[in-house]
């Protein structure tokens, strides 16, 4: 008596999503390690940026902007310069490494058609978004979390469409 075995084939779309995640998360880990190791240089460079921002602030004061526009621009510039510290860069690098490892692990599981990889991917995305908001408050945290959240939610939706193929 012959035994019939069926194997679930991974859909092409899921394959493409996983490959994109392997590339993106892998690069994210490498980039975060580089950022972590260069955090002291980045903090030193932020002093140069701060000097340039001071010059820009003087230009803003002399411009014909309304007071509310001037306050908004000054707030954004102060937020950027105050959050680019060595400690914040190192913290954000660690959060990026953790979240990328989780999304990479989730993609690997989904590559093997395991639905729990989808939940692991969601956890990695949440950690990334919340981490950026906690580490960088204000406009910098919102911008970092917004970009990460947009891409993360997009991939969550695209992976979610494929969960029917996973066990």
Q: What DSSP assignment string belongs to 132-160?
A: HHHHS-HHHHHHHHHHHHHHHHHHHHHHH
Q: Whole-prediction pTM value?
A: 0.79
Higher pLDDT, 138 or 9: 9
Average pLDDT over residues 149-162: 96
Distance CA 24, CA 56 (A): 35
Q: Mean pLDDT throughout 113-125? A: 97
> For a pLDDT cut of 90, what percent of the chain falls above it?
56
Structure confidence at residue 4 (pLDDT): 52
Report pLDDT digits (tens) over 29-63: 999 999 999 888 876 666 666 667 667 667 766 67
Q: What is the mean pLDDT of residues 135-152?
A: 86
In this predicted structure, the answer to whether residue 5 has a pLDDT above a threshold of 50 is no
DSSP state of 118: H
């Amino acid at each position: 008596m012959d035994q019939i075995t069926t194997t679930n084939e991974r859909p092409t779309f899921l394959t493409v999503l996983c490959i994109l995640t392997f590339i993106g998360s892998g690069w994210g880990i490498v980039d975060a390690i580089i950022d972590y190791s260069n955090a002291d240089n980045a903090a030193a460079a932020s002093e140069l940026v701060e000097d340039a921002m001071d010059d820009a602030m003087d230009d803003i004061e002399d411009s014909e902007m309304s007071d509310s526009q001037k306050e908004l621009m000054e707030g954004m510039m102060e937020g950027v310069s105050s959050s680019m510290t060595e400690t914040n860069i190192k913290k954000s690098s660690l959060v990026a490494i953790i979240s990328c490892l989780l999304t990479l692990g989730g993609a690997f599981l989904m590559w093997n058609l395991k639905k729990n990889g989808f939940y692991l991917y969601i956890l990695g995305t949440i950690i990334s978004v919340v981490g950026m908001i906690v580490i960088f408050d204000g406009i910098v945290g919102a911008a970092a979390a917004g970009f990460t959240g947009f891409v993360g939610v997009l991939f969550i939706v695209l992976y979610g469409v494929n969960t029917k193929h996973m066990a």
